[in-house]
Each structure stands twice: as structure tokens, then as C-alpha cells.
Amino acid sequence: MERKIVGYTSGVFDLFHIGHLNILKRAKSQCDYLIVAVCSDELTYKLKGKWPVTSCEERMKIVESIRYVDEVVLEANSDKLEAWNEYKYDILFKGDDAKEKPVYKKYEEELNKRGARVQYFPYTKDISTSKVRAERIGKMEINKEKCMSLYFAFRYIGDNNLQFSEKVPHREHQLFPLEGRTIVKNVTDIEDSIKKTLSEIDLSKAAVALSAGMDSAVLASYMPKGTKAYTARCVAESAVDETLQAKKYCDIYGLEHIIVDVSWDDYKKAMEELAEWDGSPIVPNEPQAYFLAKKMCEDGIETIIYGDMADIVFGGMDRLLSKDWTFDEWVERYTFLDAKRVLKNPVDITYVYEKYRKNDTGIDYVRFIQEIYALSSGEAYTNGFSKTGLTYVDPFEKMWMGEPLDIKRIRNGESKYLVRELFKKRFPQLEIPEKLPMSRPADEWLSGWKGPKRPEFIPGCAAGLTGEQKLLVYSLERFLDIIENYE
């Protein structure tokens, strides 16, 4: 009797569309028995930074009803080799966007040893869940001018219904739902929450993204001895080297320290690739996050532990929390680059701030940080990480302060006072490190750049801008070239 050929494919299958149907139909045509794994809600969030619109149970029922599908299983772990151990499939079906990802190169090699193979299918043109999602929430507004002005103000677009181009829908970072977070009131609560999050991960295949700051140091201290810890180092004379401080943390807890150098040439090479993946110009920290994740992927790592949300949850933005701002003061202080300085047709984006106005002249700047800043900061990591296909987990994003932030303590020099206490407990031999933004020597990198040449920009607009502001203008011009090629 001839042996049946077993096929295996997996996906979120959220807002089921013709692209999903096509890949299932093609997969079934090349095997006798098709197993389809539907991503759990939690795995979907980890992989895509978004919670699915439709619950896992409903998505499984929808896929189960498709006549090309023989068996539906739950996928709580994205490791396709573990799936082979369980189902002994002959063919792994995957969309061709994964073909160049290091993890799929690994799957090709390992499955070949097992007598199986990977079969890539092209995605159905012009259809994706991201596009369906945007159209379901509301009619997509294609407004390049508004997107450009928002990007300069906040370093991200910040609106799922707003696109630069209908051909390139952007990826929007999604905050972990408040109802799913653990309420913490003291250091013990934070420790318990970190331990619980890490207990749900296979730490033998995990690594930590480690900076010189105390947030990632605290997380690193709970990782098993021998865990790999990766630190990005920008290549430039003026760059701040975080690796020396990071190595101290590794030495104390017996971690393997790995340094990933990132040059301006690296930035430029990755910029278009990442911008096309994002559907928007890059968030400035994104290439560093991407190269860290890329190196981890090459080293066989499957899960990245990182600590971005501590600043937002525990009051780390001490300069932004340094006073009670009026509405107008906050708009001027927070807007990273006023679009009127660089664009010929700027759009007023103060409507974003209006949501946080209070008492006519005031503003709820704490909530603004917890929402607007959190989204722009989160995108820098999740977009960069997700491009490699790795799972990413920030234990701090699963917490929420049980009491209002003690603004007085923060203004007296105790930013993130609870995290400070925990750092002292975990590293009693070290001084609390000075807070540093992710190092990026943009002034040096762009010192010779003369400014944008595209017609959207004011001639000579780069004069007088900081290096970080130039980086935004440079990134946007590169992205506009990309979408022009799509249209």
C-alpha cells in the first residue's frame, strides 16, 4: 500500500480571505493529508505584535470547515521542527516571503535530514490580513502628506486606517491589553511577574537583548547561566559604547556576552528592507533591533527577551515628567520635528494631542506617554524583531502599576523607582547606571549629507537640523522612493 504524503502548514488565518484559501488549496494539491496549525492568540501577538481580531477557537472552526483541510491543530509554539517531531509531515508549506529568513534556511537543512522538505508558495497579490483589517475597521485613508507630518512629529504614523499608499499597508505596534496585565505595587510583585513570564518560555532557545541600562540588566539577571546576551554597538568615533557596562552584568550572572556592531553602511542597507516590511519609514532604533535579532537567528535563538516597556510603565521618562506642562508647551516639547520646517505641504497633526487635552490649557502627559510614546518606542523593537521571524517577549509590558506614579519621587531623581530598587537587589555591587537612549551617532553619520532632493521637501531644509532629525528626513526620502516604485 502506497504511503500517504502528509503536508503541514500554519498561520493565524485572521479575517479569512482569498489568499488563505489559495494557499490551503495549493497545499492540498501536493499532499494526501493536510494538517493546518492555527496560531494561538498569544503566539500571534508575539509574532506579529497584534492581537487577532477573531479568537483562536473561532479561527480553528473556520479553517476546519475548509474542504482542503484534513486536520486542524493548535500552534502554541512556532518551532516547525518540534511540529515535525509530533506530526512527521513530509512537506512544510510556507509563503515565499519566508524564503530568505535564516530560520527557514535552518528548517530546509534540518527537514532534509529527516526526509522532508519545505515548499514555498507565492502569496496572492494585493491581499493580506493587514489590508483586510484596515478595511474592516474603517475605510483606509490614503494620505501621504498627513503620514509624513505624523512621522516627523511622533516618529511613527500611529493610525491603522491611514496609509502612505494602498500598495504598502503599514505594520502598527499594538500595546499589550491592560486587562491582561499583572498589577504590581512593589519589587516582589515585579519579580514574581518576571519569573512567571519567563517560566512560560523555553529559555534554552532564548537570548536577552542587553543594553547598559538597568531594565534589560534586571531581566538578564533572571536568565539561566550561560544564556547569550546581545548588545548592539554603533561603529563611529562619537558613539556611546554600551558594551562595557553590559559586560559587567554578564560577568556577574555568568552570561555569554555577544557584541553586534552596526555601521552606517549597515543602516543604509537595512533601511529600505525594513521600511518595505513596515509599510512606513523606519523608527530610528529599528535597524539596531533588527541586526541584534538577525545575529540571534543565525545563532539558533528562537525567542528574544527585551525590556522596552519599563520606561512607560514605571516612570522612566524623567525629562518628560519633569514638570506639569501646558497643552501648548507639551506640543512644542514632544513634537520631534515640526513638519513646517521641512515639507512643502505640511499637515496640522495637533488633533493627536487634542485627545489628551484637559482643563482647556492642560494635558494628560502621563497618559500620552503611556499610549503615544509607548507605540513609537515599541515599534522600533517589534518591527525589527518580527522581520527575522523570531518570537519576542517584553516581561515589563505584562505589568501595570497598581498605584499612580509618584511624580514627586521621579522629579527628585528617582525615575523608575521600583525598578531601581530591584536593580539594587539584583546588582548590589554596582552603581545604578545613568539613563541613556539607545546609542546612535546620527550627527556623525549624516554630517556630510546635503539634504533631500525629492519635490516634497523644502530645498536646503536639512540645514540646522540635529542628526536625529536628519535621520528621519533621510529615512522618509528613502521610503518615498520605495512606494513610488509600487505605484
* Cα angle 374-467-289, degrees, rounded to a multiple of 5: 45
Helices (H), 306-451: 310-314, 327-334, 351-354, 365-368, 374-386, 407-411, 417-426, 442-445
Q: How many CA atoms lie within 13 A of 102 on its CB side?
A: 17
What distance in Å separates the CA atoms of residue 235 and residue 98, rounded to the nearest whole number?
Answer: 30
Q: Which residues of 171-206 are buried (b: 16+ CB within 10 A; e: fewer)?
A: bbbbbbeeeebbebeebebbbebbeebbeebebeeb
State the cell numbers at 208: 536577552
Burial of 406 from C-beta contacts in 10 A (0-12 / 13-18 / 19+) = middle
Q: Are 433 and 214 in contact (CB under 8 A)?
A: yes
Q: Are 300 and 388 in contact (CB under 8 A)?
A: no
State the cell numbers at 118: 519545505
Q: Are strands 303-305 and 391-393 parallel, antiparallel or unpaired?
A: parallel
28, 46, 48, 398: which is the annotated catalytic residue? 48
* Cα angle 65-93-111, degrees, rounded to a multiple of 5: 135
**Active site (annotated) includes residue 453:** no
**Active site (annotated) includes residue 50:** yes
**The total number of residues written for the chain in this structure:** 487
State the cell numbers at 409: 519621587
46, 50, 94, 228: which is the annotated catalytic residue? 50
Q: Which residues pair with 273 in a beta bridge?
A: none
CA dihedral 259, 265, 269, 274 (to 10 degrees): 60
* Segment holding 287, helix H or strand E: helix 286-298
Report helix, strand and coil shares of the chain as percent, to nearest 5.
45, 15, 40
Position of cell 477557537? 57
Looking at the annotation, which residues are catalytic?
48, 50
